[in-house]
Every structure is written in C-alpha cells, then in structure tokens.
Amino acid sequence: MSIDVVVPVYNGWELTESCLAHLRLQTLPHTAIVCDNGSTDETHDRLRAAFPEVRVIEFGANLGFATACNRGVSGGGGEIVVLLNNDVDCRPDFLERLVAPFRDDERLGSVAALLLKPGEGTIESFGLAADPTLAGYPRLRGLPARNARPTDPVLVGPSGAAAAFRRRAWDAVGGLDERVFAYGEDVDLALRLRAAGWTTAAAWDAVAVHRGSASAVTRSAWQRYQGGFSRGYFLRRYGVLRRRTAVRALATEGIVVAGDAFVFSHDLAALRGRIAGWRAARSLPRHHHPPDDAVDSDITFVKSLRLRLGVYSGDAGACT
C-alpha cells in the first residue's frame, strides 16, 4: 500500500527537523508532505536544504490544522494517509506497524497509534474516546505504557496527532471540517467515519513520542475560545441538545464555562467561543449520530468533568 504522511507545521523548526529525521528512518517507503501554515522561522528554506525529498505545500498565512491537513491529503495520492504532528518522533517501524491492520479489513477506515510522553514510560494518548454527549478525550492518558489496551476503553478513532486513514474512507466523509480552526476536528472525523460504517482499530505496537504535548499546559484566551467554538459548533452539528443527553450536556458545559470564568481563567473566552460556534452551525445540516458501539457509556458525568478539569491542571487523567 502506498503511504502519504502529512505533517502540518507552524514554526517550531527544531520539532519539525526531529520529526522528519525520524520519518527518514522508517522501514516502509512513503511520501512526506509538509504543509507550512505561514511559518516565520525560515521553515520553508530549511526544509529545502535539509529534506529535499519532502514535498512542501506552503501557505501565506496560518489556515488552521484542518485546512492544512486537507490540502496536504489532496496533494498526495497514497492509498493510506497518515496525519502526524511535527512534535511527534516515530520509532523506525512506526509506519509499518500502523498500516498493517488495513491489509486484513477493507472496512477499516482508521488506525490509532500509541503516543507516549517523553521518556516513553507514560501514555500521552492511545486514540480517542467519546462520552455520551460526544465530547472526546485521549484514551489512557497518564497510565503506564505497559497498560496500553487496543479495545478497552471504547475507541472511537485516532488522535489527529498520529493517525492513519484509508484514503477511500477519508474521501467518502470529506476529510476534516475546515470551519473549525483548532480543536475537536479529529473527534468529529472519527464520529463521521463511524457513522458512515467504517471501523477503527488501535495499533499498540505503532509507537511514537509526543514531544510537544507537555508544553501545552497553560491555555491562552485564544486557545480557550477556539476550544469553546469547537464544542459549541459540534454540539449543534450533531444535535446533541435534541437527544436524551441534552441535560447532561448543558450541565457539563455550564460547569466548564463557570469554572473557566470564575476559578481558572477569569474571563469569558470559553463562553464566547461556544456561542460563536453554535451560531456558526446554525444553517448547516446535522451529522448522523455514530453507532452505540462508538460511544463509551462508561464515561459518566462525574468522570467527564474530571477529564475536562485535567485540561486546566495539565493532566487530563486516564480515560479508562
């Protein structure tokens, strides 16, 4: 199977250099496509000099994660598409292990990689899980690496930081939603793939280190606004407030917004983002709800609040 590896970047040359150096060592041939979201640290020139084999798609501005990834995927032709953050360093057999499950199941639409924190003793994420309100969380975060389990808790799909997709599945659902600038796009894509009948899997032996995740503890007002926009937008796209989970969803979002406004950040960025996202989805068609086996009903109301709290504390805890 032919493989395209799409790496969206915005500055952070040292991370990009390390990511591509690790890709060079892969045991499977592939095409690396770097999508430069308007970097200002000479990323473009450095890529040409250090990695002439890499295909570069350059934008004049930061168009966001979803747009960069979509254009990168469109610029390739591989049967398998791998999304990879530039702060991820892969083991040499990473691609070989990650794409292996696709060979045995034509309905398999996506595969999640095992991402470890620096030091490789702790899980950063092993794909994503979704609670009954369709909020997404990193699976097994914070647990020892030896506790990686491909099917427990329920896997909805891969994290966008290191994810493999069958191109036919990606094209069938239209890729990532470009109306969302940042956050939640990977959860949405996973939900749409599952709703369209594609299955997913987690490859415990496809291992990479997520180097940059540890630096993302403090969330700026801009980040909290974008996170709020994503949540409000997808709540409406999936009609969550029209389902039996509406009360739980409203209670959760109310607590999160109040905590952001009065305890943690002391501003209304999270609220303003949710309102803007809800309005942005007003005239758009509703997405189909994913099948029941794509949702982890064991993520209770209390557990979901604990996971949300982890975003502010810097440790989202284990989604188990």
170 with 177: CB under 8 angstroms? no
Q: What is the pLDDT of residue 218?
A: 56
| Domain boundary assignment for the chain | 3-215, 221-313
Number of other CB atoms surrounding residue 91 within 10 Å: 21
164 pLDDT higher than 60: yes
pTM of the model: 0.95
Chain mean position to CA 232: 17
Q: Which residues of 23-52 are buried (b: 16+ CB within 10 A; e: fewer)?
A: beebebebbbbbbbbbbeeebeeebeeebe
Three-state DSSP state, 34: strand
Length of the chain: 320
- Mean pLDDT within 14-36: 97
Q: Band of the pLDDT at 152, cuts 50, 70, 90?
A: confident
Query: What is the rounded CA–CA span in Å between residue 113 and residue 164?
Result: 8
102 with 110: CB under 8 angstroms? no
210 with 115: CB under 8 angstroms? yes
317 pLDDT higher than 70: no
Q: What is the pLDDT of residue 212?
A: 73
- Mean pLDDT within 232-243: 98
Q: 40: which 2 tokens?
A: 């200002």
Say how many Å lie between the first and final Cα of the chain, rounded.
Answer: 33
269 pLDDT higher than 80: yes
- Top-level class of domain 3-215: alpha beta
Phi, psi of 36, deg, nearest 5: -90, 110
Q: Which residue in 109, 128, 111 sits closest to 171, CA to CA?
A: 109
Q: State the chain's mean pLDDT as an integer.
A: 94
- Mean pLDDT within 209-234: 82
Q: Which residue in 158, 277, 190 sits closest to 227, CA to CA?
A: 277
Q: 137: which 2 tokens?
A: 């969380």
Q: Band of the pLDDT at 216, cuts 50, 70, 90?
A: very low
Q: What is the pLDDT of residue 308?
A: 86
Q: What is the pLDDT of residue 309?
A: 80
Query: What is the rounded CA–CA span in Å between residue 284 and residue 58?
Result: 30
Amino acid present at 279? R
318 pLDDT higher than 80: no
215 pLDDT higher than 50: no
Bridge partner list, 31: 4
- Model pLDDT for residues 66-122, shown as the tens digit of each residue: 999 999 999 999 999 999 999 999 999 999 999 999 999 999 999 999 999 999 999
Q: Band of the pLDDT at 311, cuts 50, 70, 90?
A: low
Q: What is the pLDDT of residue 213?
A: 54
284 pLDDT higher than 90: yes
- Model pLDDT for residues 182-197, shown as the tens digit of each residue: 999 999 999 999 999 9
319 pLDDT higher than 90: no
